[in-house]
Structures are given as C-alpha cells and as structure tokens.
Amino acid sequence: MNDPLAASGIVVVDKPQGLTSHDVVARLRRIFGTRKVGHAGTLDPMATGVLVAGIERGTKLLAHLVAHDKVYETTIRLGASTTTDDAEGDVVDTHDASAVTDEAIRAEVARLTGEIMQVPSKVSAIKIGGRRAHELARAGEEVDIPARPVTIHAFDLAEMRRHDGVVDADARVHCSSGTYVRSLGRDLGAALGVGGHLIALRRLRVGPFTISAARTLDQLEDAPALSLTLDEALTRAWPVLDVTEEEYAALAMGKWLEPRGLKGVHAAVGPDGRAVALVKEQGKRLATVFVARPSTL
C-alpha cells in the first residue's frame, strides 16, 4: 500500500557556523526538491548544531517540537559586553575580569540555575507590538522586553581559561524551551560586574533529537534522506497511545474520543503501526492537537 506521507518527516541538521536557519531551509529545499521545508527553534548564525527541519507534512509538526527542552555547549567570555550578547555584535563595555574567582563564577551560575525570570536578548525573535525585537533594535528603537519564566535544569561549568583580562568559561546548559543562552551569558557577566557574552554556542539536543543523529548539509547533498519518517518522529518525541481501527478513523477526521486518563500529549498509533495524530485530554475529551494522517489524504 502506497503511503502518501512517505516523503514527509524530519531531518536533523548539524548547522554550520555562519549560516542563518533560513539559509539552511533554502539549502534543504534544493536538496529535497520541495518548497515545503521549515525548521523548529532558530539558531543564530554564530551557533552550530542541532536544527530540526520538517519536510513536506513534517512542517506541520514543527510547532509542537519547539516546546521541547534543549541542551547546549557554550563558551561565555566574562569581561566584555556586546550589542547582541554574543560575538556577532559590537563590544560596548569592557572590564578587567582577572580578579573574578572561580568560586564567584560558580556561585552566580548556581543563582542562574532552576526556575528563573529571564529577559530575552534585544536581538531575539521575540515579538514586541507585532514586530521582532531584533528588527526594532536594528532600526535604532528602544526595545523593552519583559522578563519571562524559564527553567535551567542544569548549568554545568567545565574549563575556565584566563587571558588578557578576560575569563572564558566553558559550560553545558540544559534548559526549557524559550530560554536564551545568550541571556545567561549576559546575566552572568552582569552579576559579576564585568559583563559577559557568548563566543561559542553549539546545540546538542532538541527533545529526543541529538547531535549524534544530525547530518551536515554536505552529507545531505550527497545522500538526501529523512532522519525520521513522520511516524518515527511522532513515536520518538511523544509516548505512544495504541488505538483501534475505528478510533484511528475517527481521529483522522479530527473527531474526539473518550478520555483515557492520560497526562500530556501522546502519539496515537493504529494497528498497522502508523501514527494518525497527536492527542491530548481536554476536559472530558481526548482531542487531536495535530492530525498526521487526515482522512482527506
């Protein structure tokens, strides 16, 4: 039986430095020969690592993947602040960080761990009054972004190197969706009174999608292939709920089922092993939040 979604799924890209996430999407459109390509969770040009892209109907899944937690490796330079909170921006302030002790750095890192309130970077993609913060900032407009709650599950320092009045601190960050690692570097430097910004950032994981499964754009050029089919992506990223053929057909039409006592989103999978939808209990209904295989296909 032919599957109309055989070409739909997820590609896990190891984004190179210097390209925007949009640049990566443009390359993938050429590689896979389709306009239906999107990505979940923007990476700045300076950043490298896991960029999850959707192909064909996989693009419809991306909005649900953005909510997953993420893991990064980063290097924070203490002793200088920049306009963008990373090395892409202009240096606006410098301080001699030589006297900042490892103990002081670790103490402030501990304060930035757990549930915190964070102000996103002024050059982030956050929308303020319908416009992106980075667009306002580059137009010279004052950007006032309200703090919002994020969770830093782990903020682990590794090596700390001192040279030329700065401290370069390597760290691994496990954080909730919506966290800006650039803001962590900025806030760490501010708390220590010397300023801070990122000089390296690599994303290692987005939910269940890891750097070990990622491929470079050159590798994809040589051998275009999905990292995960739509079925594999759904059942990898969410717990599975087995449904009957009748329930499968109902969900394919967007109908709701009787509640099962489930917590959170589940991937509903039919007897043939195919995922029909993402479902979630809402009141007294088990409702669809995304239909992978609508009955119209």
Residues with catalytic roles: 44
CA–CA separation, 1 vs 43, rounded Å? Answer: 39
Which stretch of DSSP H or E encloses residue 40? Answer: strand 37-40
Question: Closest Cα partner for 204 from 78, 73, 29?
Answer: 73
Question: Closest Cα partner for 58 from 287, 281, 275, 242?
Answer: 275
Tell me the two tokens of residue 231.
């079925």
Question: Closest Cα partner for 178 from 136, 246, 118, 226?
Answer: 118
Mode of pairing for the β-strands spanning 80-82 and 127-128? unpaired
Distances in Å between the Cα of 207 and the Cα atoms of 28, 42, 251 are 21, 14, 25
Mode of pairing for the β-strands spanning 240-242 and 266-269? parallel
Q: Are 185 and 145 in contact (CB under 8 A)?
A: no
Tell me the two tokens of residue 148.
């919002």
Cα atoms in the Cβ-side hemisphere of radius 13 Å centred on 295: 11
Query: What does 190-207 look like in DSSP terms, one character per residue?
Result: HHTTS-EEEEEEEEEEET
CA–CA separation, 111 vs 162, rounded Å? Answer: 22
